[in-house]
Structure formats: C-alpha cells, structure tokens
C-alpha cells in the first residue's frame, strides 16, 4: 500500500534529500559487491594479457593470469566469475567438437580457478559460437540454425563444464528445450547441485558488437541471430520463455542486454520472484567507457549509477565488466 501523504507544505519531499545522512537512511536500493558476476575473456598462452580494443580496460587472459585475477576478485568479495574463451580459429569446425573437449580453454581455466580461489563460484557459457566456424550459437545446416541437433551438442558441452567443476551453467544459446535436456543430463550424471542460470530473455541486440570482437566471433558470424534471439519489441514473449525455462529446471534467469531492458527485469521479478540477473553487455560497457574517456561523462559515477538501476529494477545481481572496478569503489 502506498502511504497517503498530506499536501505541501506539511509534506516537503526535499526534507528526505537534505543531507547525505538522511539520503542514505531512506535509500531504497543498494549496490553491493555481493551483486556482481565478473565476465572474463580467456586466451591461449602463458603470462598473456591482450587488451580488447573496443572494450577499454578489458583484457583477454591466459589461464595462469585468469587464475591470478580470480584470486584478486575473490579477495575483493566478488562472488562469481564467468568465462568466455577466445578460441584458436584452427579449432573452429562445423561440428564444434572443441566445445566438449575436457581440455578446452574454458575447462582448463575452470580447474585453475578452482585451485586458486576455491570459494569463488565459476559460471560457464553454453553456446557453440566460440567453436563454430559460422559464428552461430548452434549448428548451421543448409543456411539454418538447427535446434534439436544443437541441443544434443549443448548437453555435451554443459556436462564437460560440470565435470571441470563449474558451479553455474549459463546457457546463452536460445535454443528450445535446452534447459530441460541439460538438467536431465546433470541429474543422470550425479551433478544434482550444479546450478543453471538460463539466459532466458536474450535479445538480438546491436550491443553485443565488442564482445564478438573479444571472443573472435565477429569476423566468423554469417548473417544475424534473429532466428533464435528475441525481437527487441517483445515483452510478453520474454515472460513465456522465462516461465518455460524455470519449469524445465533453471535455478536463476537472466535478461540480456541490461539497461535497454530494465522493464523486462522488473516484469520478470514481479511475475516469477525467481533469482533474476541482468547482463550489462559489452556495448553498454563500451559506451560508458568511450564517453568517459572523452571527458563527456564522469565514468566512475556513471558506472555506479548504471549498476544501481538494475537493483531498482528488481535484479538480484548483474554480470558486468566493471565488477573489479566497482568492487574497489564500493570497498
């Protein structure tokens, strides 16, 4: 129930904004380090940190370096890290078997992180795009991204990640039926405590551009992803997808991208009350960094404001490339 208030001047709303102490006292939503999942890019080699040109401040890290970065993230209190591999183009094939190679980059990094920072939760990405010479999240057959054959491959990929020690499986592929298939396979193999954070409402977005550079998929991608990712004009459809994924065994759900889709976050939280996450994607990060580098906005303030808005929209947490920076700012 909304409290009924007396009219001005009995009620002066500015009283509640008078000083920092009063503002803090009545603040409704707060961003904390516990809300952060840090997406990181992996590459081959040792001692490697390669800057990603379209994402100032973001690097690809070799396994040894990501293990170090994971330890630092854990020391900052960040609860989870999410892995995205830059796959050697020579390993990309139409059949994508590198995706379930127990020794692929992502699985090696998972094991190294689990050793370096055992308490940090590791999240993985389930989709074929890092391994697919077509750059698509699923198999391409006669110009079409095929669903059921892709789901079989995603199950193998998810199982290899669970075996490597991943805590949270993150299917970002948008195929139909993959959550149920992955959940069944995890139960069968005894991974009954492995969580699934489903990218349930993932839109076909222009804001993924810098990410595709970071994982080396932009050159490879043929066409667009509109036959599986959502139409940005839709909201009811997002509710149907979230409901379906929760019913199939997702523990948590994601809305992606973040800031242009805050209405979807709020609606998802109000409708289902499930753990709800938003992905502040590469293009959102790049916009803030580019404007800040030009002196057009205050980067630190824009960062915090851009993350707090997800809490206000009902999210339990945010995947953000700002995670270590904002964790330091909040400390």
What residue ranges bind ligand PBG (CB under 6 A)?
A: 125, 127, 129, 137, 172, 208, 211-212, 225, 281-282
In the complex with ligand PBG, which residue's Cβ is closer, 6 or 319?
319
Active site residue 202: yes
- Ramachandran category for residue 57: left, alpha or beta (phi over 0 → left; psi -120 to 50 → alpha): left
Nearest Cα neighbor of 193 from 171, 169, 172, 177 is 169
CB neighbour burial string for 175-192, b if at least 16 within 10 angstroms, e if fewer: beebbbbbbebbeeeebe
Q: Quote the least distance from Cβ 281 to ligand PBG, whole Å.
A: 3
User: How far is the C-alpha of 315 from the C-alpha of 308, rounded, in Å?
Assistant: 10
Using Cβ positions, the residue closest to ligand PBG within the complex turns out to be: 211
CB-facing half-sphere around the CA of 77: CA atoms within 13 A:
11
Q: Quote the least distance from Cβ 319 to ligand PBG, whole Å.
A: 8
Cis? peptide before 208, omega within 30° of 0: no
Residue 77 is given by DSSP the state T
Which of 202, 225, 269, 311 is catalytic? The answer is 202
Judge whether 110 and 166 are in contact, CB under 8 Å. yes
Active site residue 92: no
In the numeric block, the tokens 């595709």 are attached to 212
In the complex with ligand PBG, which residue's Cβ is closer, 210 or 314?
210
Question: Token digits for 312?
Answer: 């206000």
Q: Quote the least distance from Cβ 17 to ligand PBG, whole Å.
A: 35
Nearest Cα neighbor of 211 from 319, 115, 120, 111 is 319
Q: Quote the least distance from Cβ 275 to ligand PBG, whole Å.
A: 19
Which of 92, 225, 256, 311 is catalytic? The answer is 256
Judge whether 197 and 253 are in contact, CB under 8 Å. yes
Q: Quote the least distance from Cβ 183 to ligand PBG, whole Å.
A: 19
In the complex with ligand PBG, which residue's Cβ is closer, 23 or 159?
159
User: How far is the C-alpha of 297 from the C-alpha of 258, rounded, in Å?
Assistant: 20
Q: Quote the least distance from Cβ 127 to ligand PBG, whole Å.
A: 3
User: How far is the C-alpha of 196 from the C-alpha of 253, rounded, in Å?
Assistant: 8
Nearest Cα neighbor of 30 from 274, 312, 276 is 312
Nearest Cα neighbor of 280 from 305, 245, 249 is 305
List the catalytic residues.
202, 256
């Amino acid at each position: 129930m909304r409290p009924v208030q007396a009219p001005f001047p009995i009620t002066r709303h500015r009283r509640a904004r008078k000083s920092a102490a009063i503002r803090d006292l009545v603040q409704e939503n707060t961003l904390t380090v516990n809300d952060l999942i840090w997406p990181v890019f992996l590459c081959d080699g040792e001692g490697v940190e390669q800057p990603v040109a379209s994402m100032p401040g973001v690097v690809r890290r070799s396994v040894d370096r990501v293990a170090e970065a994971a330890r630092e993230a854990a020391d900052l209190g960040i609860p989870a890290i999410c892995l995205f591999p830059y796959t050697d183009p020579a390993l990309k094939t139409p059949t994508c078997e590198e995706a379930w190679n127990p020794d692929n980059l992502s699985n090696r990094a998972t094991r190294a992180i689990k050793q370096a920072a055992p308490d940090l939760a590791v999240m993985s990405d389930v989709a074929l795009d890092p391994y697919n010479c077509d750059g698509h999240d699923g198999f391409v057959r006669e110009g079409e991204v095929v669903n059921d054959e892709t789901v079989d491959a995603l199950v193998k990929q998810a199982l290899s990640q669970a075996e490597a020690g991943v805590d949270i499986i993150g299917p970002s592929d948008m195929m139909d039926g993959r959550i149920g298939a992955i959940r069944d396979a995890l139960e069968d193999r005894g991974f009954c405590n492995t969580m699934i954070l489903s990218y349930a409402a993932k839109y076909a977005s222009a804001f993924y551009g810098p990410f595709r550079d970071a994982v080396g998929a932009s050159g490879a991608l043929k066409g667009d992803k509109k036959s599986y990712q959502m139409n940005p004009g839709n909201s009811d459809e997002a509710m149907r997808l979230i409901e379906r994924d929760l019913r199939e065994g997702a523990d948590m759900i994601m809305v992606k991208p973040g800031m242009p889709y805050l209405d979807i976050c709020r609606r998802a939280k109000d409708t289902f009350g499930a753990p709800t996450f938003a992905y502040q994607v590469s293009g959102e990060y790049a916009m803030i960094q580019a404007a800040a580098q030009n002196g057009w906005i205050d980067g630190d303030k824009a960062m915090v404001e851009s993350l707090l808005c997800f809490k206000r929209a009902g999210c339990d947490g945010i995947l953000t490339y700002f995670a270590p920076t904002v964790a330091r700012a909040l400390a």
